[in-house]
Amino acid sequence: MIRSDVPGSFAWGVFHERHPKLVRQVLDALPYGPAERAAVERLLAESTGGVLEPPADDLHDRAEWLAWGDGLWGLPWGEAPFLWAESWFYRRLLDATGYFRPGAWQGIDPFAPMKNAELAGAVVDEELAALDGLAALPDAQRARALLTSALWGNRADLSFGLTAGADGPAATDLVADDSAQFWAELERTRGGRVCVVADNAGRELLPDLVLIDHLLRTGLAARVDLYVKPQPYFVSDATAADVLAALDRLRAAPSAAAAEVGRRLWRAMTDEVLTVRTHSFFCAPLPFPDMPDDLRAEFTGAAMTVLKGDLNYRRLVGDVLRPPTTAFGETVAHFPSSVAALRTLKSEVVVGLDAATLARLDGSGTTWRTDGRQALVQVELRRENS
């Protein structure tokens, strides 16, 4: 299990380098009062040098967190599993900013200013304008381009931008590519239900929505269930409000093709062909094998579940350091439907690489596991359910 108590490690850097910058951004972006500011600063101090204080009495989800943290309360933060500690950090940040408490800040997404700025950027118009050029392409070629955009859209993650620099690294490599299998399976199950577990809002969610429109428009999916977070999480993770903002951005885009995608998706939502769904599990500090039965039942029978992004990947294959040549299928046998992971590599976890690729990456002298320059499309089929 990865922990964040080794100075210099990636996980240590997330708590000791990334979170302080994030906290500054949050406090600069909204005029929180002294009580919220002090609570956020206390959280930063606790999470970088203190112990895990048990949840306060007034937390509405106190009982769940007490149970999830059983055996961890009172330990230094770095001794908790990395994914657990990150998840608790974001839960506590919402508490500190008053997100759940009656008052002026209730329901205010502390990351909204960053998400809004990203969505408003001129670069988004440029990205959407590219859709006009894709319209004339044959379906298969357009499909490839849309999958690629959804995949690399994961690089636009705002949290990642905090350490990667404004432009981020260049997209250079696909370390595993099951995309042919992805399209072949969707063709085989044509007309089925596809689940998409979203990751980030803004520049990742836009290409995700365009891909969903393609699946619906071409009949590869008759229905799509789009899963988002029930509350702000990991900085840029998409909530239902972010889906609506992205839909508006598409509908109002100068690009005719993008605006048409927005209108089609709007209709798809009103017709319940596209449903936006959520579940408290998506903000729980748990891996997918521990998902509750009601959510498991929703994925069961889907023709395919597409899991976007790094965090979903960690929850899917486990936040542990396995030999990277471990078969992907071995790590996702717990999942109730066929799965496709679309992810750029932004944490140390990776499986399903072939030995030659691994040797090349290890010999490259780069921080390939975490620098976001590599991406993967990994598919595992569960045919008895489709």
Ligand X SMILES: O=P(O)(O)OC[C@H]1O[C@](O)(CO)[C@@H](O)[C@@H]1O
Provide the binding-site residues for ligand X, judged by CB under 6 A: 14, 18, 86, 154, 157, 159-160, 199-200, 234, 309-311, 314, 346-347
Residue 382 in contact with residue 336, Cβ under 8 Å? yes
Closest CB to ligand X among residues 189, 344: 344
Nearer to ligand X, 21 or 60 (CB): 21
**Residue 268 or 284 having the CB closest to ligand X:** 284
**What's the closest the beta carbon of residue 301 comes to ligand X, in angstroms?**
26
CB 2 within 8 A of CB 13: no
CB of 7 to ligand X, least distance (A): 17
Which element (helix H / strand E) includes 173? strand 173-177
Nearest distance from C-beta of residue 265 to ligand X, angstroms? 22
Query: Would you say 351 and 154 are in contact if contact means Cβ atoms under 8 Å apart?
Result: no
Distance, in Å, from the CA atom of 386 to the CA atom of 379, rounded to the nearest integer, reads 15
Q: In this complex, which beta carbon is closest to ligand X, that of residue 182 or of residue 234?
A: 234
- Give the distance from CA 353 to its chain's centroid: 21
Closer residue to ligand X, CB minimum distance, 81 or 336: 81
Least CB distance to ligand X at residue 141 (A):
27
Measured from the CB atom, is 150 or 311 closer to ligand X? 311
| Sequence-ordered alpha helix ranges (H) in 199-344 | 205-217, 240-251, 256-270, 293-299, 309-317, 328-331
CA dihedral for 268, 208, 349, 234, sign (positive or negative): negative
Closer residue to ligand X in complex, CB, 36/310 = 310
Q: How far is it, in rounded angstroms, from Cα 122 to Cα 109?
A: 23
Minimal distance, residue 283 CB to ligand X, in Å: 13
In whole angstroms, what is the distance from residue 213 CA to residue 262 CA? 9
Smallest distance, Å, CB 83 to ligand X?
Answer: 7
Residue 108 class from Cβ within 10 Å (0-12 exposed, 13-18 middle, 19+ buried)? middle
Output the smallest distance, CB 294 to ligand X, in A: 24
